[in-house]
Structure 1
Amino acid sequence: MCQLRQRSTSKRLVKRQALRMLEIRLLGQFDLRQDGVAIELPSRPARTLLSYLVLTRGTHHPRERLAGLLWPNSSESNARKNLRQALWQLRKAIGETHLLVDTRSIAFNTASDFWLDIDMLENTADQDLETEVSAYEGDLLPGFYEDWILLERDRLDANYERKMDRLLTQLLQEQRWMEAIGWAERWIAQGHVPEAAFRALMMAHASMGEMSKVEAAYLRCAEALEQEVGVDPSEETTHLYKSLLTGEKISLYPIIEKPGVAISARAQQVNLPAQPTEFIGRKVELAEIEKLLATTRLLTLIGPGGIGKTRLALRAAAEMANEFDHGCFFISLAPIREVEHLIQTIAEAVKFPLATHQDPQHQLLHYLQKRQLLLVMDNFEHLLDGVGIVSEILQAAPEVKILATSREKLNMQSET
């Protein structure tokens, strides 16, 4: 009887654990809570493992791939051992409910009860912009510098910038000047020198008749750009400043790219993420990529995970950036779980805001039609059903070239 009672108690505990809400915050911090109570996960490998699993949730990762990705400089046996230890620590901290584990693969259980701050930035509906941008407390996983984290960090930053731009545009259109100033200052305080935020400040102050503050905002922008990246404000920002001073009527939207105003080359050229270590060697491969891209429009770098396809593609794109009038754009496909999200991801990478009332694919193809640029599409292997979109881009935009990385061929007629 005692045994039966013990088992019954154990089942109730498991059921209660299954109902617990797991809160995961990765923006500006690593914070883990269950039902509001902080969970200690002191091991950096365990934190990295959880972060990767939730960022790629919906994907069942082979154990050997995870081990190679998270411990690239360890031997295969040591990497597998490290993975087992990190997984044990993770299961001990958050329980079994949120993980799907078998002898071959590991995945985050998307059917479990969890909340992830990043989901706010991933929401493409933009229905509650103030709530969505409020989730952004800073860069993804500060203090972590693994290649895949840097790439994902840049992608999320681009999402945040797009949402902030739309929010400021909306506030200015609705003549909510003080709120626009508040959100612009918040964006600036996060330290990325966003010219769009300074432009919103200038427009809001000008609308309130505070011309001295317009000048102060422009000077702040110029000083910040000089200190951070050693450049002057873009032509668009300077044009706006001069127009406001002379009383010229200005359209309130969009803040980032207004028709008739040229974007600076620096702003439009690249979104290639910076690499944490120096790229050494592989000159033969780089020369071959450049040679092939001179005569083909779709080139795929194929190979198993962990051999450096992404870094090679990024380096090649950086070296060829000046050959493309409208820039080189990196598109990380690893976090995408559905082909339906591919159009939105490409649009965000090239900083093209999609209108909600028109067909997204038609809008993107029309935008790319007259542009000469390079798209670096990384980790295509799990989205092979989306090669039709690649084909549509190549047909609609004759000056666009694509450099893809994948573990498998895309099996397209134009592929090299």
Structure 2
Amino acid sequence: MSEGPARPIPLPRPQAAPRLQLTLLGGWSLHCDGAGVAVSSNGQRLLALLALRGRTQRDLVAGTLWPGNDDQSALANLRTTLWRVRRRVQGAIVGGGPEIGLGEQVSVDVHELTSTGQRLLRQEPVADWAAIGHTLARQDQLLPGWYEDWVLAERERLQQLQVHALEIAAERLVQSSQLATALEVAQAATVVEPFRETAHCAVVEVLLKQSNPAQALRHYRRYEQLLDRELGIEPSRRLRELVRPVLGDHVRA
């Protein structure tokens, strides 16, 4: 009796790569499949830098993270930090050549904020402006308590993108008569950038459209006092003209 065809030997299924979630907004944290992962201070700085800048030349990473060291010492620190991070969290950092970057399984909260803001700047269609506005308004500051030059630069860049996106969302919400959400979004923009006048103009415009001139005036007065106290200047003609119907001749032309 002839034997039938040999049955194929089942191969073991490849193990799924762990899901890594890196949080930078409101503070640094890393989770692997939902469980928190402790990483050294240098490892945190390295992961944060790669998350914010993408794939980067090793020498640039070393020079940014250890600016007071000579090139060889900085690169040695980078090699040590890379070894420790890779040993602690497999797949978090990839790249064996001159460039290194985060692995594909690492998701970063900043990337969602950045992509949302860039969509608005490109004027791509948005199905739910209220949801977009709430998402933008809820974002925390990037790495609070970190004061290295590269962090400050990235924080400023992200804040400018966020506040601009918030202003766009507030304008679209006004156009669709969603005034309550528009006010929340415009006020969030003034929290992100307290001195940015276009954000305060958006708040005043929404309040006036809500037929709430008293609150619009109070907001204008607070902003006027902030500018005088901190910068020694007064609001621009555009903002003064917005509240002129309320204040009349009490506002300078």
Superimposed CA distance per residue, residues 261-308 of structure 1 (whole angstroms, 9 cap, x where no aligned partner): xxxxxxxxxxxxxxxxxxxxxxxxxxxxxxxxxxxxxxxxxxxxxxxx
Superimposed CA distance per residue, residues 24-76 of structure 1 (whole angstroms, 9 cap, x where no aligned partner): 22223222222232222241x2112111112222x352x33322222121133
Residue matched to 1:28: 26
2:76 corresponds, among 76, 81, 91, to: 81
Deviation at 1:193, TM superposition (A): 3.3
> Is the partner of 1:125 in helix, strand or coil?
helix
> Is the partner of 2:119 in helix, strand or coil?
coil
Name the one with the larger helix percent: 2
TM-score normalized by the length of structure 1: 0.49
| Distance in 2 separating the partners of 1:187 and 1:163 | 9
2:102 corresponds, among 104, 108, 121, to: 108
Query: In the alignment, is the contact (CA less than 8 A) between 1:46 and 1:90 conserved in 2?
Result: yes
Deviation at 1:131, TM superposition (A): 5.3
Cα 1:230–1:88 shift into 2, 3 Å: farther
Residue matched to 1:64: 59
Residue matched to 1:51: 48
| Distance in 2 separating the partners of 1:60 and 1:205 | 46
**1:120 and 2:122 equivalent?**
no
Deviation at 1:215, TM superposition (A): 0.9
Query: In the alignment, is the contact (CA less than 8 A) between 1:22 and 1:34 conserved in 2?
Result: yes
Cα 1:194–1:103 shift into 2, 3 Å: closer
| Distance in 2 separating the partners of 1:103 and 1:169 | 46
| Distance in 1 separating the partners of 2:158 and 2:77 | 28
1:186 corresponds, among 185, 188, 191, to: 188
| Distance in 2 separating the partners of 1:103 and 1:116 | 23
User: Could you tell me which amino acid in structure 1 is paired with residue 139 of structure 2?
Assistant: Y
Residue matched to 1:221: 223
Residue matched to 2:136: 133
Alignment of 1:321-332 (within 5 A): none
TM-score normalized by the length of structure 2: 0.77
**1:195 and 2:197 equivalent?**
yes
| Distance in 1 separating the partners of 2:193 and 2:52 | 24
Over the aligned positions, Cα root-mean-square deviation in angstroms equals 2.6
Alignment of 1:154-303 (within 5 A): 154-190=156-192, 192-243=194-245
User: Could you tell me which amino acid in structure 2 is paired with residue 73 of structure 1?
Assistant: G
Superimposed CA distance per residue, residues 185-218 of structure 1 (whole angstroms, 9 cap, x where no aligned partner): 3333446333333222222222222221121111
| Distance in 2 separating the partners of 1:241 and 1:36 | 50
Deviation at 1:135, TM superposition (A): 5.8
In structure 2, the gaps of 5 or more residues are: 1-11, 121-125, 249-253
Cα 1:72–1:239 shift into 2, 3 Å: same
Query: In the alignment, is the contact (CA less than 8 A) between 1:226 and 1:232 conserved in 2?
Result: yes
| Distance in 2 separating the partners of 1:171 and 1:184 | 10
Count of residues paired in the alignment:
226
**1:90 and 2:85 equivalent?**
yes
Query: In the alignment, is the contact (CA less than 8 A) between 1:206 and 1:244 conserved in 2?
Result: no
User: Could you tell me which amino acid in structure 2 is paired with residue 26 of structure 1?
Assistant: L
Cα 1:91–1:227 shift into 2, 3 Å: farther
Instruction: Give the structure with higher Rg (CA).
Output: 2
Deviation at 1:120, TM superposition (A): 2.4
> Is the partner of 2:143 in helix, strand or coil?
coil
Cα 1:226–1:88 shift into 2, 3 Å: farther
> Is the partner of 1:15 in helix, strand or coil?
coil
> Is the partner of 1:23 in helix, strand or coil?
strand
Cα 1:37–1:196 shift into 2, 3 Å: farther
User: Could you tell me which amino acid in structure 2 is paired with residue 125 of structure 1?
Assistant: R
Cα 1:134–1:117 shift into 2, 3 Å: farther
Superimposed CA distance per residue, residues 375-406 of structure 1 (whole angstroms, 9 cap, x where no aligned partner): xxxxxxxxxxxxxxxxxxxxxxxxxxxxxxxx
Deviation at 1:159, TM superposition (A): 0.7
Query: In the alignment, is the contact (CA less than 8 A) between 1:46 and 1:86 conserved in 2?
Result: yes
| Distance in 1 separating the partners of 2:134 and 2:210 | 26
Deviation at 1:133, TM superposition (A): 1.0
Cα 1:88–1:217 shift into 2, 3 Å: same
